[in-house]
Amino acid sequence: MATPAALSPRGGLPAVRLDHGPVWRLWWQRNERLALGAFGLVLLMAMWELVVRLGLVRALFVSSPSGIVRAFAEALDRGTLWTDISISLAEFALGYVAAAILGIVIGIAAGWYRRLNYIASPWLAAWYATPHIALIPLIILWFGIGLQYKVFYVFLVSFFSVVINALAGVQSAEAKYLEVAKSFRASQATVFRTVVLPGSLPFILTGLRLAAGRAWVGVVVSELVGANQGLGFMINLAGTMLDTGRAMMGIVMLGIFGVALGEVLGRVEKRFDVWRPQRA
Amino acid sequence: MGKLEALDICMEYLQARTGNRMLAIDRLNLVIENGSFVSLVGPSGCGKTTFLKIVDGLLAPTGGQLLLDGRSITEPGRERAVVFQDSSLFPWFTVVRNVAYGLECQGVKPADARERVQPFIKMVGLEGFENHYPYELSGGMQQRANLARALAVDPELLLMDEPFASLDAQTRELMQEELLGIWRQSQKTVLFITHAISEAVYLSDRVLVMGPRPGRVIEDLHIDIPRPRPLKVKRTPQFLDYEDRVWSLIEAQVKRDMAGGNGAGGQVLG
């Protein structure tokens, strides 16, 4: 009783140490995952480069890793790459942050006030289910093809994921915890702060992660349709000019930022998740 | 302080599915003297947990009256606190914040509350675990924290709702013995809900046996085993005799339930 078995160091499995065997095996045990991941990446890149070099596939259609690197260097030289990246990131940041703030506030309010929920739910459900891309012609009509249009579109595609998850989080407050709070005569404000909010946090974070993915897609979609700057525009332009290397380079950039975004949000989630048993 | 009187408590439900009225508790009467330890035992579905929630003020009875030291009870109050069934600690708060929760609800400043709950954390043997989260504790330790949370608001009447039900047999016995030690120190009146007969006999001054639904007290048994009671009293003839007497009152009901006589909803009310 006094020495609880449940007390393990926070985070991860207990390390299994095998202090014998050759050095390379120890290294492998520790780095297997990373090593195999890197190996797969390098292997595919090499094959890609090879089939293009051997003329099995035309570089015009698929470019090649070296072609992508060349395109990257050229774009850096011309100085347009940073402009395109920063424009895309700005569209993302403005639209997403607005969606996150408004989404959390409205979602929590609609979860907490029953009547507000009744009013808002049909709208939220309908807007969430509607393909937002269909609104692009209208949004361009309202805002033109400048920054405003893209920010608004990014906001639109990401907002509903946040709202709906925040709302579900508040509504999922467990009866047993609400009963404890009631038994101790917690005020409504205290119930909200100590039961509802902490309980809905995992939902809110899930909503934010889903929304981030959708927002990033929204950036590209809106730029493909109408833009004169940004990564999506760059890819579109390169495609029309048969500059496959540049188009691929843009796609790689999008992928890199997408991964980085997921990483950042994953850390935020972990930070708020200290009270839950960590998955290995 | 802490004398509880229940006068003709009734609890009637409207079953949502059938629209029928269902009587969960029928004219339940009891008196619990100040400072005594009283257990309420009965088969599942007899309304014991429902009664406990009525005493805490979480549920309003459909009939009858509850008096604590002569004052009527209608809603939760600071002179009563519940030790809930397992896993009722807030998983997102550390042990100390959980234990201090009642004080937090009373508006005590966090720093003051942390300080004030320290003796209770010590009393239940959780020193050194203040900053752990519930998932890092064993079931027994979680229930100690749960007990400390209720004690920390210094209630006159402690309501315990099958607090050891999910613990393994050995831990459970040790927790029972520890609870008696803590009870002696704190001098609270305790109403303890359980379906474990041996637990009820071991802990209590009186064991009240409830009949099948609609719940009411069918027997009031005084346990004249001197205190302090080491765990080994459970093997004395006197103790076994008490157990037998309680069991014989419950046996017929349980057998009837097992034969399938008890309809839907029996488990829901606990």
Q: Which residue of A has its CA nearest to B102?
A: A184
- Is A138 in the same domain as A268? yes
- Domain closes at, from A39, A57, A75: A57
Q: Look at residue A123 and tell me if it is in a domain.
A: yes
A42 burial level (CB within 10 Å; 0-12, 13-18, 19+)? exposed
pLDDT computed for residue A100 by the predictor: 97
B23: tokens are 């009587």
> Which chain B residues are closer than 8 Å to A180 by Cβ?
82, 84, 88, 90, 101
Q: Which letter, b or e, does each residue of B41-67 get, where b requires 16 or more Cβ atoms within 10 Å of its Cβ?
A: bbbbbbbbbbbbbbbbbbeebeebebe
Q: Which residues are B67's β-sheet partners?
A: B5, B72
- Is A78 in the same domain as A208? yes
- Is A186 in the same domain as A267? yes
Give CA–CA dist B259/A269, Å, rounded: 51
pLDDT computed for residue A9 by the predictor: 44
- Is A96 in the same domain as A150? yes
pLDDT computed for residue A151 by the predictor: 97
Q: Report the CATH number that the domain containing residue A253 is assigned in CATH.
A: 1.10.3720.10
| A2 Cβ under 8 Å from any chain B Cβ | yes
pLDDT computed for residue B43 by the predictor: 83
Which residues 156-195 of A have a C-beta within 8 angstroms of B? 176-177, 179-187, 190, 194-195
Q: Look at residue A148 and tell me if it is in a domain.
A: yes
Q: For residue range A225-241, list pLDDT tens digits in order.
A: 988 899 999 999 999 99
- Is A236 in the same domain as A254? yes
The CA distance from A13 to the nearest CA of chain B, in Å, is: 14
A213 burial level (CB within 10 Å; 0-12, 13-18, 19+)? middle
| B166 Cβ under 8 Å from any chain A Cβ | no
| CB-CB under 8 Å, A2 with B90 | no
Q: Look at residue A48 and tell me if it is in a domain.
A: yes
Give CA–CA dist B119/B79, Å, rounded: 19
**Nearest Cα residue to B80 out of B44, B114, B45, B55:** B55
Nearest to B102 among A1, A184, A187 (CB): A184
pLDDT computed for residue A16 by the predictor: 58
Bond from prior residue into B214 cis (ω within 30 degrees of 0):
yes
- Is A124 in the same domain as A260? yes
- For A170-196, give the DSSP string: HHT--HHHHHHHHHTT--HHHHIIIII
- Is A46 in the same domain as A108? no
Overall number of domains in chain A: 2
| CB-CB under 8 Å, B76 with A198 | no
Q: Look at residue A14 and tell me if it is in a domain.
A: no
Which residues 201-240 of B have a C-beta within 8 angstroms of A? none
Q: Which residue of B has its CA nearest to A9?
A: B136
pLDDT at A269 over 90: no
| B140 Cβ under 8 Å from any chain A Cβ | yes
- Domain closes at, from A7, A30, A57: A57
| B84 Cβ under 8 Å from any chain A Cβ | yes
Name residues whose C-beta falls within 8 Å of residue A234's C-beta, 6 or more positions apart in sequence: A75, A80, A81, A84, A246, A250
The CA distance from A138 to the nearest CA of chain B, in Å, is: 45
- Is A40 in the same domain as A138? no
With cut-offs at 50, 70 and 90, classify the pLDDT of residue A279: low
Q: What percentage of residues in chain B have a pLDDT greater than 70?
A: 96
Q: Look at residue A8 and tell me if it is in a domain.
A: no
- Is A178 in the same domain as A51? no
pLDDT computed for residue A278 by the predictor: 65
Q: Look at residue A4 and tell me if it is in a domain.
A: no
Q: Tell me the longest C-alpha to C-alpha distance in chain A.
A: 77
pLDDT computed for residue A4 by the predictor: 43
- What is residue A2's three-state secondary structure? coil
- Is A105 in the same domain as A226? yes
| B153 Cβ under 8 Å from any chain A Cβ | yes
Q: Tell me the longest C-alpha to C-alpha distance in chain B.
A: 56
| A3 Cβ under 8 Å from any chain B Cβ | no
Q: Look at residue A9 and tell me if it is in a domain.
A: no
| A271 Cβ under 8 Å from any chain B Cβ | no
pLDDT computed for residue B263 by the predictor: 45
| CB-CB under 8 Å, A194 with B101 | yes
- Is A86 in the same domain as A115? yes
With cut-offs at 50, 70 and 90, classify the pLDDT of residue A8: very low
The pTM (predicted TM-score) of the whole model is 0.81
pLDDT at B42 over 90: no
- Is A149 in the same domain as A234? yes
| CB-CB under 8 Å, A1 with B76 | no
B92 burial level (CB within 10 Å; 0-12, 13-18, 19+)? buried
Q: Which residue of A has its CA nearest to B98?
A: A194
With cut-offs at 50, 70 and 90, classify the pLDDT of residue B47: confident
Q: Look at residue A13 and tell me if it is in a domain.
A: no
Q: Domain range holding A30?
A: 20-57
pLDDT computed for residue B266 by the predictor: 41
Give CA–CA dist A51/A243, Å, rounded: 19
B86 burial level (CB within 10 Å; 0-12, 13-18, 19+)? middle
With cut-offs at 50, 70 and 90, classify the pLDDT of residue B268: very low
Give CA–CA dist A255/B112, Å, rounded: 51
How much is the average pLDDT of B221-244? Answer: 94
With cut-offs at 50, 70 and 90, classify the pLDDT of residue B255: confident
With cut-offs at 50, 70 and 90, classify the pLDDT of residue B265: very low
B173 burial level (CB within 10 Å; 0-12, 13-18, 19+)? middle
**Nearest Cα residue to B205 out of B4, B40, B86, B74:** B40
Give CA–CA dist B59/A104, Å, rounded: 33
> Which chain A residues are closer than 8 Å to B101 by Cβ?
180, 184, 194
**Nearest Cα residue to A100 out of A226, A211, A2:** A211
pLDDT, chain A, mean: 90
pLDDT computed for residue B253 by the predictor: 76
pLDDT at B86 over 80: no
| B91 Cβ under 8 Å from any chain A Cβ | yes
> Which chain A residues are closer than 8 Å to B73 by Cβ?
none
Which residues 174-193 of B have a C-beta within 8 angstroms of A? 174
Q: For residue range B160-198, list pLDDT tens digits in order.
A: 999 999 899 999 999 999 999 999 988 899 999 998 999
Residue owning tokens 């339930």 = B257
Q: For residue range A52-106, list pLDDT tens digits in order.
A: 999 998 888 889 999 999 999 999 999 889 999 999 999 999 999 999 999 999 9
Nearest to A182 among B76, B91, B93 (CB): B76
**Nearest Cα residue to A91 out of A198, A259, A223, A254:** A223
- Domain closes at, from A57, A81, A104: A57
| B128 Cβ under 8 Å from any chain A Cβ | no
pLDDT computed for residue B44 by the predictor: 80
Number of continuous H segments (helices) and E segments (strands) in chain B: 8, 10
B113: tokens are 């509350």
A-interface mutation test, from B55, B92, B122, B170, most A Cβ less than 10 A away: B92
